[in-house]
Structure formats: structure tokens, C-alpha cells
Structure 1
């Protein structure tokens, strides 16, 4: 997971107006007609997909997966028609947020839809899961106190949430070094419900870390050679190698969090791309 900075300027005003009109209609409906209306208007949030995709450089906001063969959804962070709070408790969720783009997250299918972890047999995927931390208030139609809720799942648009989770040396997502107490429970729940440690995604993350490690070893040898043979130093591609490593930490690279973690592990955090060098987002 990596922080996603949302930009409303990337969304056409015409599309925002369409969503606003649907919201006005929804507000006037009786409770027993809302779910059917929301389902009928599913094309509205789907129309936001490419604009949400641009905000994360084409990556899943939860897993950082990126690829043309991976199906992607527009997930409602707070479920629009049913919220599963636990194995036995569920409620109507957050129907008033069905057309609110602030509630949309660009998600790879395996993070958003139920599937089975091939190693554990456990059902993973967010789907309608939206548990809250014990003691949290629960927003309802007549009291929309979502700002007072404390979700158990981490939100990629919240910097504090993203700081709670990190990549371990084995490539598995885990609590960060500063994550304690309830934070650890949130990370554990997020890893499961966003399917962050499934075998395929774990392997892809490990591949990135191995690539970074190999490139770093090559860079260090090049630096050593340049320092040993100063007369030939300018011919050794140290800068090109450095740029190639730094590029893997850019937010447009798949599993950039894993690349950054490997550099930090090797004591080379200085090779991580600074925000001012991030590529521009193009809608």
C-alpha cells in the first residue's frame, strides 16, 4: 500500500454533475427503494474508473499491483448497500455515499472481490467487509458521522494509515516499526481483506526486491571501480544505474513500497525518489 493523493481536477465537471444529480434523486427515495436505485446507476461510479486510475499511475490503491491483464474495479471504501462488520453482524452500510467520489478507490479485483488464499484456504478480499474498531461510533443514514468512525481497514488516501504498514525483508506486508496497539489489528485486518500477501502478489513484490538488490550490488561495484580507476570513472555508468534504481521507487512503479523497503534495509534510503521528482499525473 502506498499513499494516493487524489486530485478532483482530474475528474470532468460533467461527470461530477451526473453523480450529484443521482445523489439528489437518491435522497428523495424511501429506504426500501434505495438499493435498487443504486444498482441501476452503477454506470456512474464505473465512469470514474479511468480518472481514479490516473491518480495512482494505474496501480491498485490497496495492493500497488499494476498490469493490463489484471481486472480493476471502482471500490466503495465504505460499502454502498451492505456493510459486514463481523462474521455475524452486518447492516445497510453507507448508501448515501454510493455516488460520492471521495468514497471511491481504484482496486484490483483480488483486493476487492472474495477469493481463496491458495496457501491458507482462507477467504480474502474486501467485498462488503467494513469492520470498525471496538467502541467506534457507526454512521447511519440519519446520522452520517463518518468522520467520527474509526475503520479497522487502512485507507490508502490517509497518510497516517499508510504509515502503519510496511514491507518486510521477506516481501510480506506487515506492521511498520512505529505501529503498535490497535494499529497492529488494523494492519492485520487490512492484509487479509485487501489480499495483500497472496502467493502471486507476494512473489511479484519479492521479484521487485530482488531486482533492487541486484541493481544495488551492481551500482556498488561500479562505484568501487570508479574510485579505483579514476581516469576511467566518467565512462562507468554510475549515474545511469542510480537513476534506474530510483525509478523503481517512483509512485508510478508497481510495488514501489517494496523497492523503498529494500533500499532502507540496505542503508540506502538516499536513493529513494523524493516527492519533487515524482512524474506528473496525466488523466
Structure 2
């Protein structure tokens, strides 16, 4: 999971207008008709999928997975029809007023968005309608929408949330070194509900980390030769190797958080891509 910068300019005006019309119709409905109306309009949020995907270079916003064999959803970060807060409390109505709000949409791989079983532990993973809040947080509702909630789940569009996690040397997601208290609990719940430590994901992150280490060790050898034989240094592929390493940390690279964390571990933080290095996000046709 890394920060995803949302860009409304990527979304065609006609797609936004369809959502606006649905929202206006929803606002006019009595409470008992809202859920059925929302469920009958799923094509509206599905219409945003390819534009959300472009914002993350085709990767799941939660897992950073680009797996072409996975199905992808448009997840409602705040659930549209019901919200489960705990194992002991009944679900509440959730956030129906955000059903057609593109700012509430997240591009998600199915294993992060839908409930499924971890085949190794038999535990249920996936976000589903879960949306727990921090202890003492106010709860927004239809009549009081502007309440500032404190969600337990990390949100990839919140850069401060992305500072709370790191990838451990075994490929697992852990709280960052300065993440403590409630934030550490938020990381733990996010790992569980987004399925971030499913075996295939940790293995994929490990592959990236091994690749980064091999590239970094090769770079060190090239630099050592250059230092030992300065007259022969110019033709050596130092910059090319450095660029190959930096590419693994770009936001369009799979599991780039794992690559970044591995470089920090190896002492190569200066090779991590900076925002000015990022590739452009091209507009899609309407």
C-alpha cells in the first residue's frame, strides 16, 4: 500500500454527471427505498473503474497487486449499504449518501474487498462491509454527514496513513518504527481486513525485495570497480544500474513499498524515486 493521488481530471464529465443525477434521485427518496435504489445502480460506480485504475497505474490501492488473474472491484471505502463496526454490535446503515461519490471509491483487488477464506489459516479476510472506528470517534449519519470520523482502516489516499506501515524482511506488513498506540492497532486491523499478509502477497513482495537486493549488490560491485580503476570508470553502467533500482520504487511498479523498504534496509535510501521522478498518468478515452 502506497499513497494514491486522485485526479478528477482523468474522469470524463459525462461519467461524473451520471453519478450526480443518481445522487440527486437518491436524496429525494424516503429512507426505506434507498438501499434498493443503490443496489440497482451498481453500473454507476463500475463506470469509474478504469479511471480509478489509471490513478494507481493498474494496481490495487490496498495491496499494490497488479495481478492480471485477479478480478478488481470499485470498493466503497465507507460502505454504502451497511457498516459493521465490531463482532458484537449489529451493523448500522453505513453511508448511503456516499454510494455515488467517486471520492469514496477505491480500486481494489477482490481479495481485499470481498470476504474470502485464507486457505492457510481458514480465517476470513477481506473488507466486505467492515468499517470500524477508533474508540470514542463520532459516527456520521444521513442527517449529520459532516462529522469528522476517525476510521480504524488505513486509507491509501491519506499520505499520513501511508507513513504508518513498512514491509518487514520476510515480506510481511508491519507498523512503521514510529507507529504506536491507536495507530498500531489501525495497522493491525487494516492488515487483517485488507488481507495484506495473504501468502501470495508476502511471496510477491519477497520476490521484489530479492530482486532489489541483487540489483543493489551488483551496483556496489560496479562502483567498487570504478573506484579501483578510475580511468576505466566512465563506460561502466553505474547510472543504468541505479536507474533500474529506482524503477522498482516508482508508483507504477508492483509492490513498490517493499522495494523502498528493502533499499532503506540496505542503506540505499538515496535510490528511492522522488515525486519528480514519477511517470505521468495519461488520460483515458471517454
* Fold equivalence (TM over 0.5): yes
Distance, in Å, in 1 between the alignment partners of 2:14 and 2:171 is 42
Aligned to 1:3: 3
SS in 2 for 1:75: strand
1:88 deviates by: 2.8
Aligned to 2:239: 239
Distance, in Å, in 2 between the alignment partners of 1:236 and 1:143 is 63
Aligned to 2:24: 24
Matches within 5 A, 1:1-150: 1-89=1-89, 90-146=91-147, 148-150=148-150
Contact 1:138 1:145 in 2 (8 A): no
Unaligned runs of 5+ in 2: none
1:87 deviates by: 1.3
Distance, in Å, in 1 between the alignment partners of 2:143 and 2:166 is 37
Matches within 5 A, 1:188-199: 188-199=188-199
Distance, in Å, in 2 between the alignment partners of 1:52 and 1:105 is 7
SS in 2 for 1:174: strand
Distance, in Å, in 2 between the alignment partners of 1:119 and 1:241 is 38
1:196 deviates by: 0.3
1:29 deviates by: 0.6
Q: What do the CA deviations read for 1:60-115 (whole angstroms, capped 9, x no partner)?
A: 11111113222110000000001011113211100000000010000011000111
Contact 1:118 1:199 in 2 (8 A): no
Give the length in aligned residue pairs: 282
Aligned to 1:217: 217
TM (norm. structure 2) is: 0.97
1:169 deviates by: 1.7
Unaligned runs of 5+ in 1: none
SS in 2 for 1:239: helix
Distance, in Å, in 2 between the alignment partners of 1:88 and 1:46 is 32
